[in-house]
Structure 1
């Protein structure tokens, strides 16, 4: 696929999203649809927990926008975008299709992506690193009662913010970042991921799982976490020069409280966090 200069969509060689949790009531499918409809890419990486089978087993929920996300991804695959899916723990059922294709989408346990700058990145979901985090339940189980309570607060906070015309903001992420043991668990996860990247001899690692978007360099290894579409609404994108950036979609897109995607307002200026 090549960049179409006449298109109003932004082009990236590669895009990474994970932890969408379709089928979970707090999935921000509206923001994700807006993002997917605003970009074109050669390769779209789905880095796990795209569908939350755990949540659906407990309490079935499926909004029409969740179906639209799957349709949008499928359309991209049919139109020439290479879509690579690395199932996570919440959609681990799809791991039975590893090294095969599912509706034109490649399924892998892990994958090596080489950027335009010839940097090699290991792609994994990240649940394999749970054993390294002593407090992993604080950050890895979307169905946990404490997590659900944080997201309950999140919903009401953002209903109030919408009344005042303000963008989506994650109270859950703000609180979690200030809980000492949660910060310890996140750091332990990051260290385990960096260790795995060193072990496999790559330049960096890209993962999800802990709902904590981040780009940082430790001991020469570039650690990238693409975040999630419940709390942070973030994605990783590769620029044409090979630079990987963390894009906060909820910071830059004001989505109206409407099922009509065409009514969403567009904001051109995108604040991005980047790593060379």
Structure 2
């Protein structure tokens, strides 16, 4: 398979150190895509989960080695810690293994747009003020992911194609979760508007999306636990949301919509 050259790759919520981390798919994605810039936008290593139990596979280790190798060979790698790897925030402003640790980052695309890169947990009122609720929710989410793994194996044995997400289904059905997601997006976009940028690229909520909001672009990378999604910037500055499916080359782009109803925006985000 020929490697595809892009200008930038944006990844978030990989959650290395957990059973839910889909390191095999991520490694396959990285083998297929090469870039000048690699932005790791939080929750790359899950210290929360590792405080309870550690699940670190050889494939997860290979992912780390591949990132370090790219940094050594000249790829600009910027790591913005999230709430699950917040222990690294005390090292903000330093460089290790040619990887820069930053609290946030302004990235200018090839077509001149300026994007604020941040994890996003600072705009999550639950994480900021009710940490125990966030931890409880994290445990529940990981349980759904483990159950989903069993359901996926059953679907494959029955010959049912395609990927179905139990966690994504739960999010669509639980009104409070959907309300939280849109409140989060509104708060992040308000912060981006105050910074005077053209848009924001974030993570945190495991809800991949790319859409226009009052003249600004909201982009969420999704995750590598449930949806296996990433954002790439092409050489001309165009952004694309990629879903890296069960097959090595299965990918799906989600172009930024121009005008959608809230219901259709929700469907687009979930399908990503």
TMscore range, shorter length: 0.7 to 0.9
- Shift of the 162–106 alpha-carbon distance from structure 1 to 2, 3 Å rule, reads same
User: Relative to structure 2, which stretch is displaced further, 126-135 or 222-231?
Assistant: 126-135
SS at match of 1:67: helix
CA gap of 1:224–1:98, structure 2 versus 1, over 3 A, is: same
SS of the residue aligned with 1:58? coil
SS state of the match for residue 144, structure 1?
helix
SS where residue 255 of structure 2 aligns?
strand
- The residue aligned with 1:221 is 216
- 1:4 corresponding residue in structure 2: none
Q: 2:225 aligns with which of 216, 227, 230?
A: 230
What's the CA shift for 1:141? Answer: 4.7
Q: TM-score, normalised by structure 2?
A: 0.88
**Counterpart in the other structure of 1:105:** 99
Query: How big is each residue's C-alpha offset from its partner over 1:204-242, in whole Å with a ceiling of 9 and x where there is no partner?
Result: 000000000000111111000000000100000011221
Q: Which runs of 5+ in 2 are unaligned?
A: 258-272
What per-residue deviation string (whole Å, max 9, x for no partner) do you get for residues 115-155 of structure 1? 01100000000100012899998996586342133213211
Structure 1 regions of 5+ residues with no counterpart? 1-6, 255-265
User: 2:72 aligns to what?
Assistant: 78
Contact 1:135 1:185 in 2 (8 A): no
Alpha-carbon offset, residue 79 of structure 1: 1.5
Alpha-carbon displacement from aligned partner over 1:40-61 (angstroms, at most 9, x marks no partner): 1000000000000111111122
* 1:177 Cα offset (Å): 2.1
Cα-to-partner distance string for 1:42-85 (whole Å, 9 max, x where unaligned): 00000000000111111122111111110111111111111010
TM-score (norm 1): 0.86
Whether the 8 Å CA contact 1:235–1:247 is kept in 2: the answer is: yes
* Aligned equivalent of 1:46: 40
Deviation of 1:178 (Å): 2.1
1:191 aligns with 2:183: no
Q: Name which of structure 1's ranges 203-212 and 147-156 shifts more when overlaid on structure 2.
A: 147-156
Alignment check: 8 A CA contact 2:222 2:230 kept: yes
CA gap 1:73/1:108 in 2 versus in 1, 3 angstroms: same
| CA-atom RMSD in angstroms | 2.3
In structure 2, what is the Cα distance between the partners aligned to 1:154 and 1:184? 23
Contact 1:12 1:237 in 2 (8 A): yes
Bigger CA drift: 62-71 or 140-149? Answer: 140-149
- The answer to which structure has the higher helix fraction is 2
